[in-house]
Chains A and B, each alone.
Chain A
């Protein structure tokens, strides 16, 4: 019944061209010799060289990675706890407020989140720097983690946990030995999501970063505000390539796992039949 028509082919071709052409153009022009980004003057990798000699960018990149690793790790722990509380703890005082505080940051405009955290940090006299960015990123990222993890917890067969408890596990052992291995894929994708959100964030970081610590997006933003720059094209190319390699290999791995599972099931069927 499902027919793949000319209309479908056109929609997909145009749609993916729209999604990918701007990025391909960016990558193409990062190898341009000319400083003028719209005039092709021959192949060159000089902008990559300049980029790696630019210490301000390297410092910012290191700060960004530090913030992303620390905040996404704390956010994963807190977010998993929050998800567990939401799905498993039943009723407790202030549950509505709690779930509100989990979902609200997801839809809160970044400018408001940034502004409110900055006003808090100034109010309690906390100097702005790496620490304040980590606190800010952890807070919004833990909400994303808890949404990802709680959707996995919802479909999870609770009798497995109960069996572990009946067999003499403590609540923590049951969590560590039964629940955690089963929700692990969701916890890992939660961490990756938190990590990417932190790497990406410009607005909240701009509010909460002090003069002592800038992140890569802040650096990129102040550079591109003045116009297109070949160095930023080179930087973008590196970032796009890393993401592409990551996403493509993740999807290949999951595809292989699916194929393997199918094969195992067929083998089991044959053995049974």
Chain B
């Protein structure tokens, strides 16, 4: 009996507030826009019993998805989100790996402090960290002032409201997510393996390439997915730093819902975004599973 209650309460909570809402999104993505409250049809009328259900199902169609497929805007938004998420994941890895690697080389007594310095931004408001770049990247921002003062450039660079600003924002906010799993993987690495590789004639660089990188692969994969998955549906960064030029699907969904008030299209956008995310999510889960098995 007690065991039943223990399972029942969180189960029902998640079913009611995660699963059901998600099914509603799928249902509304198959509905039509209507000038009514709520602004879509058909509405399910359970009072009519079986006939009502059949009539309801008959009215659902894939019209919104055909609309998405035919309109250039959505294709471009999905592709540009994929491109932005991929490039920023690679950039984050290029910046994050050396940081994680150097942290494991630091003296033992320094490591907890370094680790704390990586974790601290994670507890700080995401919104504020994105916002902090607005004063730096703007036309009259600090970066332009500095570069002009140093005579590196003769007129201000336009960084704010371009994809470049979005890359900077994503790398900046997600860097700790990538550094932590790589640090964890590198920290466990047995130094004797590197010594053995060097004794057997490897150069230090070759030993790094043939030993360190493969042995930290789990951390690299986990870190990359932790950047890529949230970056793909990102809303805050493109809307604060990207301006109107940068097309990302999270922003399109938001505008479809709040500005155009087209709920069925917004829901269809959400369903497709999720379908795109399923592959990376499954790969990520599999990587985590493998890691747990190799540890356990």
Nearest B residue to A95, CB-CB: B7
Do residues A12 and B128 form an inter-chain contact, with CB atoms below 8 A? no
Q: How many whole Å from A39's CB to the nearest CB in chain B?
A: 8
Write out, one digit per residue, whether chain B residues 82-126 have a CB within 8 A of any chain A CB (1) or not (0): 000000000000011011011111110000111011111101111
Q: How many whole Å from B193's CB to the nearest CB in chain A?
A: 10
Q: How many whole Å from A3's CB to the nearest CB in chain B?
A: 7
Q: Is A62 an interface residue (CB 8 A)?
A: no
Write out, one digit per residue, whether chain B residues 20-58 have a CB within 8 A of any chain A CB (1) or not (0): 111011001000000000100000000000000000000
The size class of the interface chain B forms with chain A is: 35 or more
Do residues A115 and B270 form an inter-chain contact, with CB atoms below 8 A? yes
From known contacts A8-B101, A78-B9, A117-B21, infer whether A38 and B124 are also in contact, taking CB-CB under 8 Å.
no
Do residues A23 and B105 form an inter-chain contact, with CB atoms below 8 A? no
Q: Is B221 an interface residue (CB 8 A)?
A: no
Q: Which of A178-186, A237-245, A265-273 interfaces with chain B?
A: A237-245
Q: Of B95, B96, B112, B132, which is within 8 A of A25 by CB?
A: B132
Q: Is A246 an interface residue (CB 8 A)?
A: yes
Do residues B123 and A246 form an inter-chain contact, with CB atoms below 8 A? yes
Most-contacted residue by chain A among B6, B24, B105, B123 (CB, 10 A): B123
Q: Which residues in A have their C-beta under 8 angstroms from that of B19?
A: 97, 101
Per the bound structure, the CA–CA distance linking A221 and B102 in Å amounts to: 36
Per the bound structure, the CA–CA distance linking A230 and B44 in Å amounts to: 50
* Contact residues of A: prevailing secondary structure: helix
Write out, one digit per residue, whether chain A residues 231-273 have a CB within 8 A of any chain B CB (1) or not (0): 0110010011001101110010001000000000000000000
Q: Is A120 an interface residue (CB 8 A)?
A: yes
Q: How many whole Å from B15's CB to the nearest CB in chain A?
A: 7
Do residues A81 and B9 form an inter-chain contact, with CB atoms below 8 A? yes
Q: Which residues in B have their C-beta under 8 angstroms from that of A79?
A: 10
Q: Is A11 an interface residue (CB 8 A)?
A: yes
Do residues A38 and B24 form an inter-chain contact, with CB atoms below 8 A? no
From known contacts A101-B14, A120-B21, A200-B127, infer whether A109 and B119 are also in contact, taking CB-CB under 8 Å.
no
Q: How many whole Å from A132's CB to the nearest CB in chain B?
A: 10
Do residues B105 and A2 form an inter-chain contact, with CB atoms below 8 A? yes
Q: Is A227 an interface residue (CB 8 A)?
A: yes
Q: Which of A13-21, A41-49, A51-59 interfaces with chain B?
A: A13-21
Do residues A135 and B17 form an inter-chain contact, with CB atoms below 8 A? yes
Q: Is B77 an interface residue (CB 8 A)?
A: no
Per the bound structure, the CA–CA distance linking A94 and B253 in Å amounts to: 32
Per the bound structure, the CA–CA distance linking A8 and B98 in Å amounts to: 7
Q: Which residues in B have their C-beta under 8 angstroms from that of A225?
A: 239-240
From known contacts A19-B117, A107-B277, infer whether A227 and B25 are also in contact, taking CB-CB under 8 Å.
no
Per the bound structure, the CA–CA distance linking A202 and B240 in Å amounts to: 13
Q: Which residues in A have their C-beta under 8 angstroms from that of B119?
A: 247
Per the bound structure, the CA–CA distance linking A116 and B25 in Å amounts to: 6
Per the bound structure, the CA–CA distance linking A119 and B96 in Å amounts to: 39
Q: Is A194 an interface residue (CB 8 A)?
A: no
Q: Which residues in B have their C-beta under 8 angstroms from that of A117?
A: 17, 21
Do residues B24 and A19 form an inter-chain contact, with CB atoms below 8 A? no
Write out, one digit per residue, whether chain A residues 89-105 have a CB within 8 A of any chain B CB (1) or not (0): 10010100110011111
From known contacts A89-B7, A103-B285, A107-B281, infer whether A220 and B131 are also in contact, taking CB-CB under 8 Å.
yes
Q: Of B10, B101, B274, which is within 8 A of A78 by CB?
A: B10
Q: Is A131 an interface residue (CB 8 A)?
A: no
Per the bound structure, the CA–CA distance linking A171 and B1 in Å amounts to: 12
Nearest A residue to B239, CB-CB: A225
Do residues B2 and A172 form an inter-chain contact, with CB atoms below 8 A? yes
From known contacts A101-B18, A116-B24, A236-B125, infer whether A78 and B13 are also in contact, taking CB-CB under 8 Å.
yes
- The 6 A-B pairs of least Cβ separation, nearest first, read A109-B233, A116-B21, A8-B102, A22-B132, A15-B99, A11-B98
Can you name 9 extra interface pairs (CB under 8 A) apart from A2-B104, A4-B102, A117-B17? A1-B191, A12-B106, A22-B136, A26-B135, A38-B145, A78-B10, A200-B127, A224-B240, A248-B120
A–B Cβ pairs within 8 angstroms, 16 of them: A2-B105, A9-B102, A12-B99, A12-B102, A12-B106, A15-B98, A20-B117, A23-B132, A84-B6, A89-B7, A102-B14, A107-B277, A109-B232, A115-B25, A115-B270, A138-B17
